[in-house]
Amino acid sequence: MKLSRRDLERISALTLEHYNERAADFFEGTRDHDVSQNIAALLEHIEGAPPCTILDFGCGPGRDLKTFSALGYIAVGLEGAAQFVEMARAYSACEVWQQDFLKLDLPADRFDGVYANASLFHVASQELPRVLAELCATLKPGGVLFASNPRGSNEEGWDRGRYGAYYDLDTWRGHVAGAGFDELAHYYRPSGLPRVQQAWLASVWRKPAAGRSG
C-alpha cells in the first residue's frame, strides 16, 4: 500500500521524536560501540586526493563524525533529530546539517564518501530510490557509499516507536544498484557469529566515474 504524504510526514515526525526524547541515553549507550570495521570499509575504497570529504548521513550524536575528523578527513554530519544535531556539533566540532531524510538539500558532486551507518533503514521503501539517487548525486564521480542496516525479509513498519524497513541482500542490492551505484563489497555483522546471529547487513558501493556506467 502506497504511503501518503501525510503518512510519510508522520513517520518522520514520530521517529525523530523517539530519538529526541532519548538522545542522552542513546549517546551513552552507543558511544563505545566498535564500528571500526564499517569505517575501514568506506575509507579503503575512497580514491580521491586528500583532504577527502565525507558526509556522515544520520550522524546521531557525532561518534563517527569525530572519528573521521580525527583521521584527517573533512567530515560533515547530516541529522534529522534536533537534539542529536546539537550534541554532534559539540562532540565532534564538525559542521552538522539538520535535514529530514525525506527533504534533503544536498550539494552536487561534493563528497568523496557518504557514510550511512544505521540510518537508511528509517526511510520508507517507496522513498528509498529517490533518497539513494540524491546521495549518488552528492558524491563526486567515483565516490563511495557505505551503508549498514538491520537486515530482514523485506518487512516494513513500526518497531518500538521507530519506523524501519528491513531488507534481505537481494532486495537491498536492487535498490542501490537501481540508483546508479556499482557494488564493491558486502558483509554481515557482528563478524565471527553464525549468520542467524548477524543482524546487520553492510555494503559498499561506488558512483561510476564520469563517462562510465555499469
Q: Domain of residue 141: give its range.
A: 5-206
Q: pLDDT tens per residue, the chain (214 residues)?
A: 799 999 999 999 999 999 999 999 988 888 888 899 999 999 999 997 788 999 999 999 999 999 999 999 999 999 999 999 999 999 999 999 999 999 999 999 999 999 999 999 999 999 999 999 999 999 999 999 999 999 999 999 999 999 999 999 999 999 999 999 999 999 999 999 999 999 999 999 999 997 444 4
What is the per-residue pLDDT for 84?
97
With residues binned 3-state (H G I as helix, E B as strand, rest as coil), the percentages for the chain, rounded to 5, are 35, 30, 35
> How do strand 53-57 and strand 200-206 relate by DSSP bridges?
unpaired
Quick check: is 190 in a domain?
Answer: yes
Quick check: is 212 in a domain?
Answer: no
**Domain at 165, CATH number:** 3.40.50.150
What total of structural domains would you count in the chain?
1
Quick check: is 213 in a domain?
Answer: no
> How do strand 182-189 and strand 200-206 relate by DSSP bridges?
antiparallel
Give 54's contacts (C-beta < 8 A, 6+ positions apart).
42, 68, 73, 74, 75, 76, 111, 112, 113, 114, 115
Q: What is the rounded CA–CA span in Å between residue 183 and residue 186?
A: 8
Quick check: is 48 in a domain?
Answer: yes
Q: What is the rounded CA–CA span in Å between residue 18 and residue 105?
A: 23
